[in-house]
Chain A
Amino acid sequence: MLLPLHVEALVKRFGRTRAVDGVTLEVRNGECLGLLGPNGAGKSTLIRSIAGRVIPDSGRIAIFGAPAGSGAARDSLGWIPQELALYPRLTCRENLASFGRYNGLGGEDLDRNVAQCLKWATLSDRAGDLVKNLSGGMKRRLNMAAGLIHRPKLVLMDEPTVGVDPQSRNHIFEMIEQLRREGVSIIYTTHYMEEAERLCDRIAIIDHGKIIADGTNTELVRSAFGSRSEVIAHFTGAPELIATWVAGHGGQAVDGEAQFSIDHPSAIGALLDAAAQAGLDVADVALRKPNLESVFLQLTGRELRD
């Protein structure tokens, strides 16, 4: 059976920058793959390459066996860009019908798909409203519906929840979960780790154009931290003294808090005793199991990227 997506040794350069540097990736049938990475890591170039909008310098992209950008690949692929790529002076129905026609639909098929997409996006009662008059959440949902108007089997979702309120975000999650129940394969890019944890079967982390980690959420945490836990502590006292002591005990001082990695929760007592002997007062202390965000920061670092 053909894979929804197979990317092999993909390279794309812009001048001297290798935006995508030998990426190999696959998406299985019915799978939701989370694609995470800091700004400028190469996510957008990779997504646009899959959508056929960027021509790679080398490597191969196959969508259900068809080369990216080919007619068959376009028919199988839905793209939901981060921007609200809609016609503001057209109604919801007119927008969906336009994108349906661009994808070769017509007649009853078009009418049926428009009605289904409106229902999926909970916009049936706003079908005749101009897009420019919709709320931010409605526009986001319509933006998603426009990418699905031709019923693709593989969907690229580029940060579909940017700028929406928690209610709309939750609604969008339900829409995506409905798609997953229908067997649609998804590539989902986001900066919200909890979204990836909730929605994605598998997560790939990309940085500097390379895939630096790939696996389920549990696999990624285990791979990065094993069975270790994080201790977060706040001390009162001279910052220089705190920083020196934290570094001397294998921790990191970040934004006024000290972070330590311990093998077992019982090790926390010894750590606090050592702090007291060094003359540091503990304001508060917390034990945290590592999560996807911990993995992400561990792998990509904490420096700003933009």
Chain B
Amino acid sequence: MISAIIRTAMVSLRRDRGALALAFVVPVVFFSIFAVIFGGQRDTTPKVAVILVDEDHSRASQRLIEGFQREGSLNVKTRPDAARGVEQPEYTAASAETAVKSGIAPVALIVPRGFGDNPISFGAGADRSRVQMLEDQSDMVAPQVVAGLLQKVAMTSMPDLMAEQGYQYFDRFAGLTPEQRERIDRSMTTLRALEQDGTIARAADGGLISVARRSVVGEKKNNPMVSFYAAAIGVMFLLFTSTGAAGSLLDEAESGTLDRVLSSRVTMTRLLIGKLTYNTLLGFSQLTLMFVWGWAVFKLDFWSHIPGFVVMGVITSIAVGAFGILLASVSSTRAQLGALSTLLVLVMSAIGGSMFPRYLMPEKMQKAGLATINAWAIDGFTKVFWRDEPVSHLWPQVLVLAGVAVVLFAIARRLARRWEYA
């Protein structure tokens, strides 16, 4: 009798493609996404972008920058990407700060004038030449990585300068005899020669570079990640809600209500526009609730960003609404819609940055994320709430999401012809 129950259940499962996908496809897909992001694919570990500005142009500053460029984990930018094939001038302190604010890189290092005179310092003396580090706090990893690497690069890329600086300190405060000075100078010459022909090991220890860190984005924010997660989680649940709401089309088709509606003055195009408008209103209400909750409980600065929120909220809701209607148009039954939407929404949310920030992902996956609504929506909300950018700067996100909405809706309208006439 028990075997009969098991057999019945297995046969039912075998014929329910949605349940099969949820049971066996979704877990594997999800596992693979997480494995790629956090696991063994070391060759695709994301590189940290860092902007370097050399105001000193000394031997020491050049050696420091060369040292950074040798670091495999960094993507060093000394000048903006070429525009229409024309090479751009090198970053200055001001343009580097603007670039960090606009999200081109999460960190910028500015090597100031006079750095080469005194590259390392012990204690807080007046002769300290402090490297400026400009940070974007929305990336919690990159500034820490760059700060650590700065010390490491200093040690490994200019040991002779370190030694020279050390002996100058010693000479100033303890004093050296002329004979000692001559012997040290000879040693320094040898050391420089070894460094120049690459014989010297690039692993040394000791020494310090003084760094002045400054947040140029988010320095006044109460809670740096709240706005990110309000948008990230909000969009993910918007996708679920939208597909659920659009599923009413399938209910109506199954019950015969759709036939009755379409025999009235309502055409299929009007019906779908009505559903899209409803989905948009529902989605916008949901996002509003998320952000107001963020303001009330987590001190998110909501009220001073209303215009940007409305623009991103509306366009995101329209795109997500069209996505839901497309899925409903593709599916034959509610069960099929449930399985398909769960699979797609979870995958989109994972690679689109709704579950963890995209800067943690390998570069290829970051690019793949741009194929999702989540990524564009989150980028737009980040511009509004994190970077305090004006509404006019949202045009790329608005354009892409509007384009996505139009294309998805057009495909849904085409597929909905199966309900329209026989």
Q: Are B422 and A85 in contact (CB under 8 A)?
A: no
Q: Shortest distance in angstroms between A179's beta carbon and chain B's nearest beta carbon? A: 18
Contact partner, B256, options A54, A74, A77, A81, Cβ 8 Å: A81
Q: Are B255 and A74 in contact (CB under 8 A)?
A: no
Contact partner, B263, options A14, A51, A55, Cβ 8 Å: A51
Say yes or no: is A79 at the interface (Cβ < 8 Å to chain B). yes
Q: Are A52 and B265 in contact (CB under 8 A)?
A: no
Cα–Cα, bound, A146→B260 (Å): 9
Q: Are B264 and A53 in contact (CB under 8 A)?
A: no
Say yes or no: is A248 at the interface (Cβ < 8 Å to chain B). no
Which residues of B lie under 8 Å from residue A52 when comparing CB positions?
Answer: 263
Which residues of B lie under 8 Å from residue A77 when comparing CB positions?
Answer: 263
Residue interface mask B344-384, A partner, CB < 8 A = 1: 00000000000000000000000000000000000000000
Residue interface mask A221-262, B partner, CB < 8 A = 1: 000000000000000000000000000000000000000000
Task: State which residues 397-422 of B face A: CB under 8 Å.
Answer: 421-422
Which residues of B lie under 8 Å from residue A102 when comparing CB positions?
Answer: 261, 264-266
Known contacts A85-B257, A85-B259; A99/B264 CB under 8 A: yes
Which residues of A lie under 8 Å from residue B421 when comparing CB positions?
Answer: 53-55
User: Which of A75, A83, A85 lies at the interface centre, i.e. has the most chain B CB atoms within 10 A of its CB?
Assistant: A85
Q: Which residue of B lies closest to A88 (CB)?
A: B255
Total number of B residues with any Cβ neighbor in A under 8 Å: 13
Residue interface mask A39-54, B partner, CB < 8 A = 1: 0000001001001111
Residue interface mask B226-261, A partner, CB < 8 A = 1: 000000000000000000000000000001110111
Q: Shortest distance in angstroms between A208's beta carbon and chain B's nearest beta carbon? A: 19
Q: Are B264 and A54 in contact (CB under 8 A)?
A: no
Q: Shortest distance in angstroms between A83's beta carbon and chain B's nearest beta carbon? A: 3
Say yes or no: is A7 at the interface (Cβ < 8 Å to chain B). no
Say yes or no: is A103 at the interface (Cβ < 8 Å to chain B). yes
Say yes or no: is B262 at the interface (Cβ < 8 Å to chain A). yes
Q: Shortest distance in angstroms between B126's beta carbon and chain A's nearest beta carbon? A: 76
Task: State which residues 130-151 of A face B: CB under 8 Å.
Answer: 146-147, 150
User: Which of B257, B261, B262, B421 lies at the interface centre, i.e. has the most chain A CB atoms within 10 A of its CB?
Assistant: B257
Say yes or no: is A157 at the interface (Cβ < 8 Å to chain B). no
Total number of A residues with any Cβ neighbor in B under 8 Å: 27
Cα–Cα, bound, A87→B260 (Å): 11
Q: Are B255 and A83 in contact (CB under 8 A)?
A: yes
Q: Are B260 and A147 in contact (CB under 8 A)?
A: yes
Q: Shortest distance in angstroms between B271's beta carbon and chain A's nearest beta carbon? A: 9
Which residues of A lie under 8 Å from residue B261 when comparing CB positions?
Answer: 99, 102
Say yes or no: is A292 at the interface (Cβ < 8 Å to chain B). no
Q: Shortest distance in angstroms between A78's beta carbon and chain B's nearest beta carbon? A: 9
Say yes or no: is A107 at the interface (Cβ < 8 Å to chain B). no
Which residues of B lie under 8 Å from residue A104 when comparing CB positions?
Answer: 265
Q: Are A84 and B260 in contact (CB under 8 A)?
A: no
Known contacts A54-B421, A55-B422; A84/B255 CB under 8 A: yes
Q: Shortest distance in angstroms between B173's beta carbon and chain A's nearest beta carbon? A: 85
Cα–Cα, bound, A129→B279 (Å): 26
Q: Are A53 and B265 in contact (CB under 8 A)?
A: no
Residue interface mask B89-124, A partner, CB < 8 A = 1: 000000000000000000000000000000000000
Q: Are B265 and A85 in contact (CB under 8 A)?
A: no
Q: Which residue of B lies closest to A73 (CB)?
A: B263
Which residues of A lie under 8 Å from residue B262 when comparing CB positions?
Answer: 53
Say yes or no: is A86 at the interface (Cβ < 8 Å to chain B). yes
Cα–Cα, bound, A44→B256 (Å): 13
Residue interface mask B201-218, A partner, CB < 8 A = 1: 000000000000000000
Contact partner, B422, options A53, A81, A82, A103, Cβ 8 Å: A53
Cβ contacts A to B, 25 pairs, < 8 Å? A14-B422, A45-B422, A48-B259, A52-B263, A53-B259, A53-B262, A53-B263, A53-B421, A71-B265, A74-B264, A75-B265, A77-B263, A79-B259, A79-B260, A81-B259, A81-B260, A82-B256, A83-B255, A83-B256, A84-B256, A85-B255, A85-B257, A85-B259, A104-B265, A150-B264
A residues sitting closer than 8 Å to B (CB atoms) are: 14, 45, 48, 51-55, 71, 74-75, 77, 79, 81-87, 99, 102-104, 146-147, 150
Given contacts A53-B421, A84-B255, 7 further A-B contacts (CB under 8 A): A71-B265, A77-B263, A81-B259, A81-B260, A85-B259, A86-B257, A99-B261
Q: Which 6 A-B pairs have the closest CB atoms?
A: A83-B256, A102-B264, A85-B256, A85-B260, A85-B257, A54-B422
